[in-house]
Structure 1
Amino acid sequence: MKRRDFLETFFSLFVKGALLSTAGYMYAKYIEPRRLTVRRYEIVHPLIPKSFDGCRLLQFSDVHIGYHYTVRHFQQVVERMNDLKPHLICFTGDLLDEPNKYAHVDAITSLLSQLHAPLGKFCIYGNHDHGGYGTDIYKRMMHTSGFRLLVNEWVSVKRGSEQIVIAGLDDFMLGKPNFAKTVQQLPKETYTIALIHEPDLVTQASVYPFHLQLSGHSHGGQIQLPWIGPLVTPPLAKQYVEGFYDVEQLTLYVNRGLGTTRMPFRFLTPPELTLFTLKAGL
């Protein structure tokens, strides 16, 4: 190859690489983080009562408001959640990225109060909810907005004379989780959904009488590459990153979350809401 041809080829490849890198950067920072997806699944189990057949449970997670995620962004998501008309709403942690530094707590509390779910709204602590001296801030926000904050406890959700159970564990990184306390006096042969922020705790949860574990924390890795998968996942989200897993008798679902943290990018891991429709099994 002549020197001129070599330089032309090199320059052409350089320009194409630069354009591709710029396009990838712009997409990962400005486009995919706003490409909200709604994933819909049916959950069939013989312990789901007939009166709960068709009940819609909406999970959202890891909003990280304050880190490139604004009040306006969350308002749009709240409107989308209400459009889905859930019967139950479960939030699996990490509402504000740094609670003690966030200036619009009242605005977010007002938006959370606008979420409608006739059978109840439930939540747990994530590590960011405890971090930044946020424990009391988060607790006050969720209580004011009508959410039931579950900390190593369970609550019965009734429809007529039948019930299911929602249990919630404290965060495993910065809280004081206690499985034994959580399952005290748990009614036997009752379909039980466990809210646990970090998904890798499913191996411990699987020895308890839970049937479905809902988690977040991983963000789906935030950045995934084809044939490689997620580049980085946080502690306690190394093994279970996104979607469904079966561990012993327990089904785990890991939600990719809504926001970002540490890096304001998403690539091949768009933000999600998850809508589960409960089905009474035979």
Structure 2
Amino acid sequence: MNRRSFLKKSFGSLLAFLGLGGGTYYYAREIEPSLLDIHEETISSDKVTSEFDNFKIVQFSDTHIGFHYSLSQLEELVQTINKQKPDLIVFTGDLVDAPNSYNWNTTLIRILKSLKATHGKYWIFGNHDHGGYGTNIVKNVMDQSGFKLLQNQQTTIKKGQESFALAGIDDVMLGDPNLEKTLKNADPSLFTILLAHEPDFADKTVDYPVDVQLSGHSHGGQVRLPIIGHLYTPLYAEKYVKGKYQLGQLILYVTKGVGTTRLPYRFLCEPEIYVFTLKATHS
């Protein structure tokens, strides 16, 4: 950490210590973490074919169930997602906070299974999914919930005679991501979406035939202060923290996620899901 970053974070921590008291502290712990922003974005591309015009994709990420995020909250989230009537649902990692100590049960499977999308449900590993010896447990739960894992793999989403590519890499921190393998034999003329838990991986993605990368992991910083912004983000979410970024031909979207981790606070950083609508831009 350089001196400027150290001063920024130290000053920010001091303000947080002084400011997050009383009503503000209560809001950051009890109110904002339970809110949910439905963030709508339109993705326009001349690679999007007419069959996929107005095709709706919902992304949710970083639920961290078990750490101040309950199954009843997950059930409400699922109902909200289903109300969007998505054509495709993608989950970009970190299902539970601590897989090795979580009380796994069939209720979680039932809730996730109730998510409905006409063209399927896909997911990728996050670092918490691999952590705590959770890899096989989480995969088993997601399998039973009707989600298809993309672990250094790509698939084709078809509608009529047309299609686009959906790819996903293994987690950067605790997995073995291999973008070369993931996009082997990729058709550069196909509209391609990559799921990558850590957003800073986009600096590698930009060199490949990918149009959009969807990421999470950062939580948007969880606590953001006026002028200063976020106080802290995890490794591989230090450059791209939240929102939309244009990197050459690649568009990166970083969701602030749903749950919390490490500290049970959110301040000026509401939980969110993304609702993407594809738009064909053929002349």
- Which structure 1 residue ranges, 4+ long, deviate > 4 Å from structure 2? 17-20
Pair 1:200-2:197 in alignment? no
TM-score by length of 1: 0.92
Distance 1:171 1:63 in 2: 16
Query: Which residue in 1 is equivalent to 2:14?
Result: none
1:188 Cα deviation after fit? 2.9
Distance 1:266 1:247 in 2: 28
Query: Which residue in 2 is equivalent to 1:130?
Result: 130
Query: Which residue in 2 is equivalent to 1:107?
Result: 107
Which string of whole-angstrom CA distances, capped at 9 and with x for unpartnered residues, describes residues 47-102 of structure 1?
00100000000000000000011111111101111011100001000001011211
What is the identity, as a one-letter code, of the residue corresponding to 2:77?
A: V
What is the identity, as a one-letter code, of the residue corresponding to 1:202?
A: A
Question: Following superposition of structure 1 onto structure 2, how do residues 134-213 of structure 1 map, counting pairs within 5 Å?
Answer: 134-213=134-213
Query: What secondary structure does 1:107 align onto?
Result: helix
Distance 1:19 1:253 in 2: 30
Question: Following superposition of structure 1 onto structure 2, how do residues 1-282 of structure 1 map, counting pairs within 5 Å?
Answer: 21-282=21-282
- Structure 2: which 5+ residue stretches go unaligned? 1-16
TM-score by length of 2: 0.92
1:21 Cα deviation after fit? 1.8
Distance 2:131 2:169 in 1: 16
- Structure 1: which 5+ residue stretches go unaligned? 1-16
Query: Which residue in 2 is equivalent to 1:12?
Result: none
* Residues matched between the structures, number: 266
1:109 Cα deviation after fit? 1.3
Distance 2:104 2:161 in 1: 41
Distance 2:152 2:20 in 1: 48
Query: What secondary structure does 1:101 align onto?
Result: coil
Query: What secondary structure does 2:140 align onto?
Result: helix
Identity score, percent = 47
Closer/same/farther in 2, CA of residues 185 and 105 from structure 1, 3 Å limit:
farther
1:275 Cα deviation after fit? 0.2
1:18 Cα deviation after fit? 8.7
Q: Given that residues 92 and 124 in structure 1 are in contact (C-alpha distance below 8 angstroms), is that contact kept between their aligned partners in structure 2?
A: yes
Query: What secondary structure does 1:131 align onto?
Result: helix
What's the C-alpha RMSD, in Å, of the aligned pairs?
1.3
Distance 1:232 1:117 in 2: 35
Distance 1:145 1:35 in 2: 25
Distance 2:209 2:96 in 1: 31
Query: What secondary structure does 1:279 align onto?
Result: strand
Distance 1:18 1:67 in 2: 25
